[in-house]
Amino acid sequence: MPSLGHVLLVHGFPLNATLWRPQTERAPTGWRLVTPDLPGFGASQLPPARTMEEMAKEVLNVLDRHGVERAVIGGLSMGGYVTLTLYRLAPARFSAMVLADTRATADTEQQKEGRRAMISTVQAKGAGAVADEMLPKLLGATSQRDRPELAATVRRMIEASSSAAIAGALHAMIGRPDSRPLLARITVPTLVLCGEEDLLTPPSDSEALHAGIGGSRLVMLPGAGHLSNLEAPGAFSNALNAFIGPFSGGH
């Protein structure tokens, strides 16, 4: 019996591994999807991380616990930042890469100020206040109009996150470096996906990733915003499954 191939997907901020349920339900034959909770989020019992390196090292620990030497590794939004950090630390662990609704650039000063304001908000008012602030930006206009139930799903994920985990992740994003110099050094097959209605990391950010990573594949998802895998689950999963198909046979 051939060994399973492994795909590890890292969730975005301020969510948890539940984000990937549409993909785990559509995993192609011969593949195992691993969707860990980052430290402090979801079912994780680890203390919240405050740097991208801490998050990336925990993903390495997850691979080690599963006995996986190499995998298709990717993430959405903050999960993309973790993925790029992990490639910087351990490129040999990648057989391929997936970057969804994310960017290579570091935060601008304005973005850093916005994150610092959100740290104050979550510390003073809790995760519910963060959900109030972020929900209009996380989901695209089409989803907000046609799939109002998604807002409740996303709110539940946000409100399940502790204030400490949210604040720690915000600190990590503020401190992350510019990954643009890394892009030319990415030599594994790479899939870049983006919702066409993404307001937080608009299509131009994904186009820049695609231009910077030689041989990468770019897929734009109509009718989806920042949480493209949740908003356009069929199209996202089809693109992911088509991408990993040539790597069948285990890693």
Q: Rounded distance, CA 66 to CA 109, Å?
A: 39
Give the per-residue pLDDT at 3: 55
Contact 40, 46 (CB under 8 A): yes
Task: DSSP for 189-250, please give it.
Answer: -EEEEEETT-SSS-HHHHHHHHHHSTT-EEEEETT--S-HHHHSHHHHHHHHHHHHGGG-S-
Q: What single-letter amino acid sits at 227?
A: L
Domain limits of the chain? Answer: 5-247
Q: What is the pLDDT of residues 130-164, one digit of tens each?
A: 999 999 999 999 999 999 999 999 999 999 999 99
Q: What is the pLDDT of residues 190-219, one digit of tens each?
A: 999 999 999 999 999 999 999 999 999 999
Give the per-residue pLDDT at 2: 44
Task: Please determine, for residue 1, whether its predicted confidence score (pLDDT) is greater than 60.
Answer: no
Using 50, 70 and 90 to split pLDDT, how confident is the model at 29? confident
> If you average pLDDT over residues 69-80, what whole number do you get?
97
For the chain, what is the radius of gyration of the CA atoms? 17
Q: What percent of the chain has pLDDT over 70?
A: 97
Give the per-residue pLDDT at 249: 45
Give the per-residue pLDDT at 42: 94
> If you average pLDDT over residues 161-177, what whole number do you get?
97
> If you average pLDDT over residues 49-59, what whole number do you get?
97
Using 50, 70 and 90 to split pLDDT, how confident is the model at 248? low
CATH topology of domain 5-247: Rossmann fold (3.40.50)
**What does the mean pLDDT of the chain come to?**
95
Cite the DSSP H helix spans in the chain.
Answer: 21-24, 52-65, 78-89, 109-125, 127-138, 141-146, 149-159, 163-175, 180-183, 203-212, 228-231, 233-244
Give the per-residue pLDDT at 112: 98
> If you average pLDDT over residues 54-62, what whole number do you get?
97
